[in-house]
Amino acid sequence: MLTIAFLILTSLAQGLDYPVAGAHGAVASSSTLASQVGIDIMKQGGNAIDAAVAVGFALAVTHPTAGNIGGGGFAVIRTSKGTIITLDFRETAPAKSHRDMYIDESGQVIEDLSTKGHLSTGVPGTVDGLLVLLEKHGSLSREQVLQPAIMLAEKGFPLSRVLVSEFKNLHGSMSSYPQSMKIFSNSGKPYEAGDVWIQRDLAATLKRIAANGRDGFYTGETADLIVAEMERGGGIVSREDLTNYKSMWREPVKGSYRGYEIWSMSPPSSGGVLLVNMLNMLEPFDVSGMGWGSSALIHMMIEAERRAYADRAQYLGDPEFSDIPVAELTSKAYAAQRFSDFDAQKASKSAEIGHGSLPAESTETTHFSVADKAGNAVAITTTLNWGYGNRIVVTGAGFLLNNEMDDFSAKANTPNTYGLIGRKANEIQPGKRMLSSMTPTIVTKDGKPVLVTGSPGGSTIITTVLQVVMNTIDFGYNVSHSVSVPRFHHQWLPDRVVFETRCISADGLKALEARGHKELQISTWRIGAANSVSYRDGLIEAASDPRRDAQGVAY
């Protein structure tokens, strides 16, 4: 059961340099309530995997913008025996989907069709993924692990100012969906901060999952409700799509950086490949000597990002449908060749940077990190794609649908919502998993866990994780400082660099302009939310990103 202690924790601001720490376990997520669920599960004797599954289901209740059972994601896990495993529970394209489903008769992409409405929905994978993790590596029963989420949905919890503000902003886009308005408004009127939010339909869905496992979602009543919702709005997810969905164990992407081991997610996530590729490009240089936030370092990182994202567009997709050159893209030899034309004094132009030559051969997501004293560590990133997905609540089931079909390449070289370019490797095919930027990552040193991290943020996920890893390894920052300091982002196309405020000085901007960087933007929008956990000085430290309304929890 939830302890009263979380009420005190929610009123405490997590300091920049003082992460929450404990000897037994730690959780960092975008919801303090959900993080406390994970701690309570560990206090009941569960391990970090039990806790992570409980947090995942609790986020579906307390963090509706991205915490989900109607979406999908990826998990990177270190077991207490030191084994690293990864699970892909990404959404899949329905059987009735096809390559040109979002293209009109003139060959142009139909605006909003892949992001709004029922046709934007992929087959959800989160429920299967979380249950597979629990069955394979957990120690508690399904009923124990889901009970906190059921209680939060059935009994309700007081709404924060942040959630109330988000709900109000949604009303315009939800106005055509009565069931969505029923859930996210108070009888048609905006909720107020402090109102208790009860989600009875969602509680009933969670109870079916607790009682029947995956059959409580992918068959039976819940599946019937999903299919009825599809038929109501012209969607194409069928009973067969739901019945046939399966998570997939993948080989992790492994790299090394300055004596640390980097473990991340393989395709259909592009995150691990790009993370290791960029670290390989940067490793030969004296990053710490350049200084955090220096124009020299930012210039070099931009150039690494430019090349990595160009390769993403060309080579990455679902490995079940295309040969993905993971080994080549993550090799240090390839990185050296790819970065051989780097000029420390001059910016390259994205229009002139194509993909590399290989040898023959949203904005809204959520991430949570969990670790325990036995060395079990879990990095999980899940998503609905946009914040609140396509804004459609399944009538009678109480959860939001994803609009992940937009993560496919609807047309070659045509950007998606996040400005990302895709080609043949990521074209739509039935049963295919769409390419992702999710980058759940575990860093170890001599096989022992050091950092558990990841982030939401669409195309900015990968660069966010890159900066957290570099802050930890190159600059020796603790986990709270590593995730709190300002960030920047570049992704090849569009040829633009976006900085959070206080990320770079006015002189630094002038120095980048002098190198030839043209479009430099200081933005007030936040980049990522890198909820992270670290092992340091015999303790486990948790830092929920201050860009979101949550604190890490440990005991």
Instruction: Read off the pLDDT of residues 200-224 as tens digits, 9 standing for 90 and up.
Output: 999 999 999 999 999 999 999 999 9
**Residue 467 domain-assigned (yes or no):** yes
Task: Identify whether 424 is part of a domain.
Answer: no
Report the C-alpha gap between 468 and 477 in whole angstroms. 9
CB 458 within 8 A of CB 387: no
433/94 Cα distance (integer angstroms): 10
Position 363 pLDDT exceeds 70: no
CA distance 341 to 281: 11
Owning domain of residue 21: 5-246+369-406
pLDDT value, residue 8:
32
Say if residue 350 is in the same domain as residue 254. yes
* Domain-located, residue 431: no
If asked whether residues 278 and 359 sit together in one domain, one would say: yes
pLDDT value of residue 350: 85
pLDDT tens digits, one per residue of 366-407: 999 999 999 999 999 999 999 999 999 999 999 999 999 998
Note whether 164 and 305 are same-domain residues. Answer: no
Domain co-membership, 241 together with 290: no
Model pTM? Answer: 0.93
Same domain as 255, residue 242 = no
Residues 39 and 102 reside in one and the same domain: yes
> What does the pLDDT read at residue 313?
85
H or E segment at 37?
helix 32-43
- Confirm whether 415 is domain-assigned: no
> Can you give 421-459 as a three-state secondary structure string?
CCCHHHECCCCCECCECCCCEEEEECCEEEEEECCCCHH
Query: In this structure, what CATH number is given to the domain that contains residue 268?
Result: 1.10.246.130
- Measure the CA–CA gap between 484 and 482, rounded to whole angstroms: 6
Q: What is the dihedral sign for C-alpha 382, 171, 177, 209?
A: positive
Taking only the tens place, the pLDDT of each residue in 80-104 is 999 999 999 999 999 999 999 999 9
In order of 76, 85, 270, 431, the CA distances from 440 in angstroms are 6, 12, 11, 23
What's the total number of domains in the chain? 2
Cβ partners under 8 Å of residue 215, min gap 6 = none
* Together in a domain, 58 and 155: yes
Distance between CA atoms of residues 402 and 393, nearest Å: 10
- Among the options 330, 365, 381, 463, which is catalytic? 365
Considering Cα of 231, then 235, then 241, then 247, what sign does the dihedral take? negative
**Same-domain check for residues 12 and 153:** yes
Specify whether 299 is located in the same domain as 381: no
Please indicate whether residue 464 is annotated as part of the active site. no
